[in-house]
Amino acid sequence: MTVILISLLLQIQIALPERANLANPASSYSLPPQTQKDYDKLWKRFLGGKDDRRVSDDLTKSLKKNPEVLPAVLVQAYLDLYGGRPDEAERRLEFVLSKNPTDPVALTYLADFAYTRGDYVRASELYTRLRAIHTSGSNLQMKSQRSLLLAMEALLQGAKLAISENRSGDAQKLYQQALNLTGNEPALRDQLNAAINREGSGQARVGQSEDRQEDHPVTATETIPGSTASIEDLGRWGNQIDHFREIQVSESLTREQLAALLAVYFPELGQYRASDEVIADVQQSWAQSAIRLVVGVGLLDSMANHTFQPARTVTRGEFAAVLARLTRLFSLPASAAPLIRPLDVVPDSTLYLELQPALGYGLMTLDNAGNFNVRDVVRGGEAVNIAEKLHRLLRKNTG
């Protein structure tokens, strides 16, 4: 995981909307008439926001009589959140979740708590449960996908470290957790199993009973060259790993594929404020959420008619311009290398300046004749290598 990603995640705060925009926690419950009447009065006073201490005292008295009126507990949790007492809020939310595993308020805030402190496995589990209740909402889907990505990466990196330290038992537990995160995706489970087997971890395949698994000591020298990349790819791409394989062998990168590469290799993009632009032709795209993200943060542009044209190929000039925007978005310092002048680009053109980050950092190069070939297509494997280079560059410059 990149250092820049860690630093961005640490800055995230639990989002607290205006009280008037809060959903009433009681809407998910059926309360006795008198209890409902008393609760409604407290809820109205809470929404007013002018008498929080007395509302809290009255809720405490009410909960002493009946501690399992969960909507009242949730209002107390809201008071804790607005009052700057996150630990108390989390304790109350955990209580609610223990009594009602599908409570949407508890799931939402506990998932956000887990995410902000870096417990991505827990966050992924909670966001998944929340999505089973709320099937819509691009923000929830983005959080769920991002937490799954980060959870997979953390588990797989931990397992690799355990292997290098000859702790095969710990590696087995971490790999099994990663496999469990794949859910009901047979293709993904098979590919992750294959990657684990190539790592030489000695893990049994998913579906075998525990008494058949062998605790085989493994050292770092037993891993097969190239297998680590396979595991990291699975951690990044999850159930879209087949699309990644298609990108790797593609003779010409499409705008759809470029959007996916950017979203996957730089998940911190989701922390930037994005415009809510209408895009007319991406509903059937496998990379729809990635397209909306990169367009929203300004890395790729939609057309004048509000289409994105997912299948259109990307030229080298367009790709370099995207890289320039990405380096500016992440505030990457300018390369110390002198300006490089391609023979086929006019020096006083905007494109000339846009090529410099890609050339100065060695992400892209000129051909033997000194041309950049701005209209040539970008191969998929080339784009993956460039994304890897920039990923490492950002980690180096923020470390």
Residue 214 domain-assigned (yes or no): no
| In a shared domain, residues 388 and 277 | yes
Last residue of a domain, one of 90, 118, 146: 118
Residue 129 domain-assigned (yes or no): no
Query: In this structure, which amino acid lies at residue 23?
Result: A
Residue 399: what pLDDT? Answer: 57
Residue 182: what pLDDT? Answer: 66
Query: How many angstroms separate the CA atoms of 273 and 276, rounded?
Result: 10
Residue 256: what pLDDT? Answer: 97
Query: How many angstroms separate the CA atoms of 338 and 391, rounded?
Result: 22
Last residue of a domain, one of 58, 86, 118: 118
| In a shared domain, residues 241 and 350 | no
Residue 213 domain-assigned (yes or no): no
Stretches in the chain below the pLDDT threshold 70: 1-15, 135-138, 182-232, 234-235, 238, 398-399
Residue 291: what pLDDT? Answer: 94
Residue 124 domain-assigned (yes or no): no
Query: How many angstroms separate the CA atoms of 252 and 66, rounded?
Result: 65
Residue 125 domain-assigned (yes or no): no
Last residue of a domain, one of 232, 249, 266: 249
Q: How many CB atoms lie within 10 A of CB 91?
A: 12
pTM listed for this prediction: 0.54
| In a shared domain, residues 267 and 350 | yes
Residue 311: what pLDDT? Answer: 95
| In a shared domain, residues 267 and 245 | no
Query: How many angstroms separate the CA atoms of 76 and 90, rounded?
Result: 11
Residue 259: what pLDDT? Answer: 96
Q: Measured between alpha carbons, how far is residue 119 from residues 10, 147, 152 in Å?
A: 12, 9, 11
Kindly report, residue by residue over 357-376, the tens digit of the pLDDT. 999 999 999 999 999 999 99
Closest by Cα among 381, 343, 154 to 267: 154
Query: In this structure, which amino acid lies at residue 119?
Result: D
What token pair was written down for 399? 């470390």
| In a shared domain, residues 143 and 274 | no
| In a shared domain, residues 162 and 106 | no
Residue 210 domain-assigned (yes or no): no
CA 53 vs. chain centroid, Å, equals: 38
| In a shared domain, residues 336 and 268 | yes
Number of domains forming the structure of the chain: 3
Residue 380 domain-assigned (yes or no): yes
Residue 386: what pLDDT? Answer: 96
Alpha-carbon dihedral sign for residues 81, 86, 92, 97: positive
Residue 18: what pLDDT? Answer: 87
| In a shared domain, residues 282 and 199 | no
Alpha-carbon dihedral sign for residues 174, 120, 186, 241: negative
Rg, the chain, Cα only:
25
Query: How many angstroms separate the CA atoms of 385 and 383, rounded?
Result: 5
3-class SS letters over 140-152: HHHHHHHHHHHHH
Residue 217 domain-assigned (yes or no): no
| In a shared domain, residues 316 and 390 | yes
Residue 68: what pLDDT? Answer: 84
Give me the helix-helix angle, 227-237 and 255-265, nearest 10°: 100
| In a shared domain, residues 57 and 158 | no
| In a shared domain, residues 86 and 69 | yes
| In a shared domain, residues 286 and 157 | no
**Range of 292's domain?**
258-398
Residue 210: what pLDDT? Answer: 38
- 313 — phi, psi (to 5°)? -75, 155
